[in-house]
Chains A and B, each alone.
Chain A
C-alpha cells in the first residue's frame, strides 16, 4: 500500500504549501537561499508537469548536481552566518534542505517527512512574527499540509481535491476546541530551556543608547508601537506625558552617549514626590535593550520585573527586554531629583574641545548679561522662540560643525537638534545640563481606551541642575513648537506621513483610515495581551480567575484531561451520530404502533400495516373506524396511491387513544 510513489497532484499541492510556508522568510533571508528554494520547487513541479528527470541514481549527473548544491549551500551558510545553530542560520538551513529533499521525494516516507518538515517550517515563521496576519497565513499553510496528508492516503478518483481540503478544514475546525483547551490548561513552562542563540531576537527599531543628530527623525517614519499604557483612573494632561528613556551625558561633538559604566554606582538618586499620583499598566514591546519606559517620575520600581534605578535616574531592567513585558507603576509628575547634591556635575558640564566655537561665543555673550542659571535658560528659550527657528520633521542636512551649523545657518530642526544645541549652550554658560531621550505624548485609542505610544512619538529633551531645586526639565522644542508637546505628534505631522499615500489628500479619508487603524490596533492589542502574552504567569492569573484554587501543574492536568475527554466525546458524538432517516410519515405511524404496543399489541416485523390494523380491530371493535382511517391514510401517504394530507394523519394520530380493555 505504501510502495507506490505519491501522485503528481499531491506533490503539486505540497509544493504550494511549502512555498507559502517559506514565503515570509524570503524577505530577510539571503537572496540565494530563496533562489535555491524556488529553483528546487520549480524543478519538482516541472517533473510533475513535463516529466523532467529528477536526481536519482539513473541520472547520476543530476544527482551530482543536487549534492553539489547541498554542499555549496552548507558552505555558504557557514561563511555567512558563522554557524548553523543560530536562529537565522537554522531557518536558512531548514529552507535549503527542505528544498533539496523535495527533489528526491519518491516514496510515501519521503512525502510524510516533507509534510512534517513543512509543519516545522510554519513554527519557524513564528520566531520572526506573531502577528495576526502571519497566524492567518500559517493556518492556510497548515490546512494545505493536512490536505496533502489526506491526498497521500486517498487517490484522486475516490475523493477530489476540493473534498480533500474540505475534509482537512473540517478536521482542523474540529481540532480547534481541543486546541483552545490545551492552550488554556496545558501547564506552561517558562523558557528558555537552553541557551538561546544570539540572534534569537532580531534588531528592533526604537530609542537607542546614543543620539546623533538626525537619528530620532528617522524613527518618526515608523508607525510601530513602542508601548501601550492603560491608566487605572485619571491620566495627566498631554504636556506632562514625558516617558523617560536613556539619559545622555557625554558628547564628542556629534554623538551623545550615556554615562560610562565605570562611573555608575548602585546608589539610587534622592527623590521626593508630591502632587497627584497616577497608576498605570505599561505593556512594553520588545526592544532588545534594558530600559523600562516610565512616566516621569515613578515612585517605585515595578514588582514583576527585576529592575532598579540607575544613579542618574533611569529605570532599568536587569535583563534585556527580549519579549513584550507588562508592568504596573505609579508616577507623580511633580518631583524633585537630587536637589541637594549631584554626583555627576563634571559630566554635566563636559564639552568637546575645539568644537562649537560660535555656540560657545554666543553663550559667553549671554553670560555677560546674567549669571543666574534660570535666567540663562530663559534667554536660550527666548532665543529659539523669537529668532527664526522652525520645527520640522525633515530637517536639512547639516554640514561641518553640526551645532554651529544648526544654530546659525539652517535653524530648522527637530527635537534632537534643539535639545543638543540647548545643552551645548547651557554647558558653555556653566549650567549643568543633560539630555533625556524617550517618548513624549502618545495617542489614546478610543476603541479600547489604551494609550498608544509609537516610535514616532520619540523625543529628546533636557534637564538642568540647579542647587536646591535639583534637575529641572526644560524642553527647548516646546519653545519652538508648542503643539508638538501639548497636542502630540500627530498634530504636527502632515497627513501624508500619517496615512498611506493614496488617501493623503482627503481629510475625510484620512479620518476613516485613522478609525480603521484604531480598530485594528485594538484587536492587535487584545491579541498581544491575551494570546501572545499567555505564559506561565498569565496562565496562573487566568486560571485563578476561572476558579481554580491553586493552579499548579497537577490541577491543570486534571482539568485538561477532564475537559479534553468531554470535548472529544462531544466531537465523536457529532462524528458518529446519524439520524435514522425515517420520514415524518413513518414517525407518525410509529407513534401509533407504539401506543398499541403499550396495550400489548406489538406490530411484528412481518406484519404489514393492513394486517396489523385487522388484528387491532379484532381487539378494539369500537375503534375500528379510527384504526381504518389511520391505516388507510398511512398507506396512501407512504405508498403514494392517492393524495392525502399529512396534517390529517397528524391530527388523527394526535387524538387517537386506545381504550382500556
Chain B
C-alpha cells in the first residue's frame, strides 16, 4: 500500500517538476497593506476609480506571482565541478545551469547549505543557506555558468551542499526559490606552511645529478633526426620552415630523489601543522623538479613527479585522519 502511494507520489512529482516555493516578501506584505488602505479609502468615498485602482494593483500582484514563479521554473543544475584548492583559498565551483525556456531568467541568487540542520522545527529546513552569489541573467535555451566561490576553513572533502536558487524578480513582492540536491564535492589540501627546510635528497645507486639525462618531461632543444627517433617527437613546425627534419629533445628532472617522511615532522605537535609542513615540502619538491615520494603512517606513495603525482600526494594529506 505505502509502496503504491510512494510510486504515485513520485510520478506526480515527475509530472510537476521541481518543487518551487513562493512566498510574499516583506515588501509584498506592505504592498497588500497599501491595497487595503486604498480599498478603504475607495469604499469610504464611494469612489469607483479608487476601486478600479485597488483591483488593478491587486491583479498586478497576482500576475507578479506568476512572473516571479516563471523566472525560476524549469531551470536545472546541469553539473558542477571544482579544482582542488589549499585550505584558506576559495573553492571555485563551476556551476552550469540550463534554461530550456525561450525566456531570460533574471537576478537569480545562488546559495548553498553545507550541513544539514536537524530540528523539530520544519521551518529550519529553509534556513542556513549561505554565500549568496548572483546570476544576473540566464540566457534562453542555453546553459549559463556561474563560478560559485566557497570559502574553506579546513582540509578534506568539501561538498557543494544543497544548492538553492532564489529570485524576487520582477517586482520584489514575492520571493521564490528551489533546491538542487547534489553530490558534488571538492578536495581541500592542507595549507602549505612551515618553517622547516626541505630534507636532504636521498641518492639511489649512481650519481644522477651531474649529467642531463634524456627523458620525456621537459623540452630542452632540437636535434637532427636520426632513424629510430620517435615520430611524435618530430618538430613539424620547424620542418615547414627550412625543410630540415629535427626532433625535439626532452630531459627528465634532475633534482634528485626525495622521500618525504612523516617521521621528519613527527616533532611538530599539531597534526594540522605537520600536514601543512608536508604539503609545503611537496610543493617545493615539485617546483624544483625532484622525484619524490610520501610516507605517511597509513600510506606510502612511491617516487614520482608531475601534476598527477602531486595531486595524489596532496590528496593523501588532505584525507589524512
Contacts and interface: CB of A to CB of B under 8 A. Distances in A.
Given A112-B27, A123-B42, 8 more contacts: A116-B30, A116-B31, A154-B106, A158-B106, A174-B63, A178-B63, A189-B43, A581-B102
Given A113-B30, A179-B56, A531 B48 contact: yes
A335 interface: no
Contacts of B137: 158
B126 interface: no
21 contacts: A112-B27, A116-B34, A126-B53, A138-B49, A142-B57, A149-B170, A157-B136, A175-B59, A178-B55, A179-B59, A183-B52, A186-B51, A188-B43, A189-B43, A191-B46, A192-B43, A194-B44, A535-B46, A535-B48, A575-B66, A581-B102
B53 A138 contact: yes
Contacts of A108: 172
B149 interface: no
B41 A175 contact: no
A625 B134 CA distance: 57
A568 B49 contact: no
Interface string A159-203: 100000001000110111111001100101111111010001000
B193 interface: no
A543 interface: no
B44 A192 contact: yes
Contacts of B104: 158
A153 B30 contact: no
B169 interface: yes
Nearest to A195: B44
Contacts of B57: 119, 142
Contact of B45 (A127, A138, A531, A564): A127
A154 B170 contact: yes
A32 interface: no
Interface string A552-579: 0000000000001000100110011010
A120 interface: yes
Interface of A: 1, 108-109, 112-113, 116, 119-120, 122-123, 126-127, 130, 134-135, 138, 142, 146, 149-150, 152-155, 157-159, 167, 171-172, 174-179, 182-183, 186, 188-194, 196, 200, 323, 531-535, 564, 568, 571-572, 575-576, 578, 581
A171 B136 contact: no
Interface in B18-59: 27, 30-31, 34, 37-38, 40-59
B239 interface: no
Contacts of B52: 135, 179, 183, 531
B168 interface: yes
Question: Max chain B CB contacts within 10 Å: which of A134, A179, A188, A190?
Answer: A179
Contacts of A572: 66
B40 A193 contact: yes
Contacts of A568: 62, 66
A19 B240 CA distance: 74
A155 B45 contact: no
Contacts of A534: 48
A158 B144 CA distance: 14
A155 B101 CA distance: 21
Contacts of A179: 52, 55-56, 58-59
Given A153-B172, A179-B52, A193 B44 contact: yes
B161 interface: no
Contacts of B301: none
B60 interface: yes
B23 to A, nearest CB: 16
Nearest to B47: A126
Contacts of B50: 123, 126-127
A186 B134 CA distance: 41
B107 interface: yes
Contacts of B62: 175, 178, 564, 568
B43 A130 contact: no
B271 interface: no
Contact of A1 (B66, B106, B132): B132
Contacts of A127: 41, 45, 47, 50
B46 A190 contact: yes
A123 B134 contact: no
A191 B44 contact: yes
B113 interface: no
Contacts of B34: 116, 119-120
A135 B103 CA distance: 33
Interface of B: 27, 30-31, 34, 37-38, 40-60, 62-64, 66-67, 70, 73, 101-104, 106-107, 109, 132, 134, 136-137, 168-173
B170 A150 contact: yes
Contacts of A149: 170-173
A503 B136 CA distance: 57
A182 B58 contact: yes
Contacts of B48: 130, 531-535
A189 B31 CA distance: 22
Given A1-B134, A150-B171, A157-B136, A193 B66 contact: no
A153 B56 contact: no
A526 B57 CA distance: 24
Contacts of A190: 46
Given A122-B53, A123-B38, A533-B48, A171 B43 contact: no
B253 to A, nearest CB: 47
A176 B45 contact: no
A196 B170 contact: no
A179 B48 CA distance: 13
Given A120-B34, A323-B46, A578-B101, A172 B53 contact: no
A101 to B, nearest CB: 14
A152 B56 contact: no
Contact of B44 (A138, A196, A533): A196
A581 B49 CA distance: 43
Contacts of B168: 1, 153
A323 to B, nearest CB: 6
A530 B171 CA distance: 32
Contacts of B30: 112-113, 116
Contacts of A193: 40, 43-44
B239 to A, nearest CB: 38
A199 to B, nearest CB: 12
Contacts of A109: 27
A576 B68 CA distance: 12
Contacts of A192: 43-46
Contacts of B107: 153-155, 158
Given A123-B41, A158-B107, A191-B44, A171 B49 contact: no
A431 B201 CA distance: 140
A542 to B, nearest CB: 13
A119 B33 CA distance: 12
Given A120-B38, A178-B59, A171 B44 contact: no
Given A146-B60, A176-B59, A183 B51 contact: yes
A128 B168 CA distance: 36
A123 B107 CA distance: 32
Nearest to A168: B170
B218 to A, nearest CB: 44
A476 B27 CA distance: 68
A193 B37 CA distance: 12
Contacts of B38: 119-120, 123
B169 A123 contact: no
Given A154-B107, A193-B44, A532-B49, A171 B55 contact: no
Contacts of B134: 1
Nearest to A125: B49
Most buried by A among B49, B134, B173: B49
A194 B46 CA distance: 12
A172 B44 contact: no
